[in-house]
Chains A and B, each alone.
Chain A
């Protein structure tokens, strides 16, 4: 191989590497649509929302309960049931769109478009740049016209994967949903009869089989929001 060939290899290789670096840099930049969504959410410093929560997990019988949801920038979120015991997906409830975007510690990758419930939505993937964040990757389905996020799918480090779908109403201008549905995978539930003292059950095996391998959902339908009126840190 002569010197000319070496030069060609160096030039082509250099061009390839520089192109790769340029394209990766372009991809790692924050998507303008995400910026648009973030700007809308930035209007909200804190809120208190009242709503009704429905727990739908195969092995849980629970009635509807009134809840209050407290949020404060950048990522403080608390769901409290009024006078009772509340069940929430482990770690997942705090991963709302506000808490994901307000950290500003992510890069975006465009994922094309998808039709969801009759809406043509832009798909964008978020990858955290801070290793200390609990989530690994999050996919957002965003309406490019309204800059509203209709669905997120987030994978966490320790608490599995969550899907959150949103519907919007009166508070859409703040990017706040009127209904949120958290979907998550549930593990099997079983307590030995010796602990529950439930001996002589008719057909526990059949009952257990029917309850296995189901997905759990928690729905919160919001009645109203109180926005930017201040929320004390003690709530969280």
Chain B
């Protein structure tokens, strides 16, 4: 199995297409960081307009932790599209080239090959996420420094002490890995059903866009199905950055407001991964590779 994974990883990282996602993420992050470095104070002033009417905020609001949060908000919506570029090509690409027959004629079972391909695609996804974390978090910390995380949400503000922030990012990135692996498995499922790459890639992207729109609309009809959509749960990494308060309205350091929500989302995402990969195995097992 290990050798199969190595083979698949070799194939992934030999293709120039693989590095498009790494390059795109680097370019986006650097551009945003540069923009905020040059004109971040006016952006912060715009965000804090309502607060500044009542309070004076003293400290480094625009620090590395806040920059990382802004970057994750912007990028974790779009990274799934970059993941789809590789994951949705894993099987269909080989079917298109005709090499799938060669793979399945080896002594290894089809299940072994499917799992090896999925694990290799997952490694790519995780590496992409680590790259994102390195640039968004550590480079931002280096460029902008650190301080408390002053998080402006739609209806309230959360002020998290700087020694209470880093573990939240670890949690958020672990959570994000489940979100992206769900996209990987969806792309994989689409890939197992097609014999060319374009269809599964576009199909996966369309599914993400379609379900994301359904998840964000506050229409009662969609509210019923929203809890079952993986896109509803993908953005819940933000829950790591909301804290509990006690009866005196004092924030409790080290607390997370809604742990059950995070657990539910992880379970839903895990079930989607298992469902999509299992469906891929079943489809590939029945796939006619002779025609």
A-to-B contact residues, CB < 8 Å: 54-65, 79-81, 83-91, 93, 184-193, 195-201, 204, 207-208, 211, 216
Q: Is the CB of B250 within 8 A of A84?
A: no
Given known contacts A61-B156, A187-B53, A191-B50, what 10 new A-B pairs fall within 8 Å (CB)?
A: A57-B55, A81-B58, A89-B54, A93-B56, A187-B50, A193-B154, A197-B74, A197-B77, A198-B238, A216-B55
Q: Give B40 Cβ to nearest chain A Cβ, in Å.
A: 15
Q: Could you give 8 example pairs across A and B, Cβ below 8 Å?
A: A59-B155, A85-B147, A90-B52, A90-B53, A186-B54, A187-B53, A189-B50, A208-B155
Chain B facing A: main interface SS: mixed
| B252 touches A (CB below 8 Å) | yes
| B57 touches A (CB below 8 Å) | yes
Residues of A close to B245: CB separation below 8 A: 61
CB-contacts of B52-74 with A (<8 A): 52-61, 73-74
In angstroms, Cα B215 to Cα A81, docked, is 40
Q: Which of A59, A84, A187 has the most CB of B within 10 A?
A: A84
Known A62-B251, A63-B253, A85-B59; judge A196-B153 contact (CB<8 A): yes
Query: What class of interface size applies to chain B in its complex with A?
Result: 35 or more
In angstroms, Cα B162 to Cα A184, docked, is 27
Q: Is the CB of A61 within 8 A of B59?
A: no
| Nearest CB in chain B to that of A210: its residue | B155
Of the candidates A65, A85, A191, the one whose C-beta lies within 8 Å of that of B60 is A85
Q: Is the CB of B57 within 8 A of A63?
A: no
In angstroms, Cα B250 to Cα A81, docked, is 16
| Top 5 closest pairs, chain A to chain B, by CB | A85-B59, A199-B216, A62-B159, A63-B251, A84-B148
Residues of B close to A81: CB separation below 8 A: 58-59
Q: Give A14 Cβ to nearest chain B Cβ, in Å.
A: 52
In angstroms, Cα B54 to Cα A81, docked, is 18
In angstroms, Cα B253 to Cα A11, docked, is 76
| Nearest CB in chain A to that of B218: its residue | A200
Residues of A close to B252: CB separation below 8 A: 63
| Nearest CB in chain B to that of A65: its residue | B161
In angstroms, Cα B58 to Cα A113, docked, is 39
Q: Is the CB of A87 within 8 A of B159?
A: yes
In angstroms, Cα B107 to Cα A121, docked, is 95
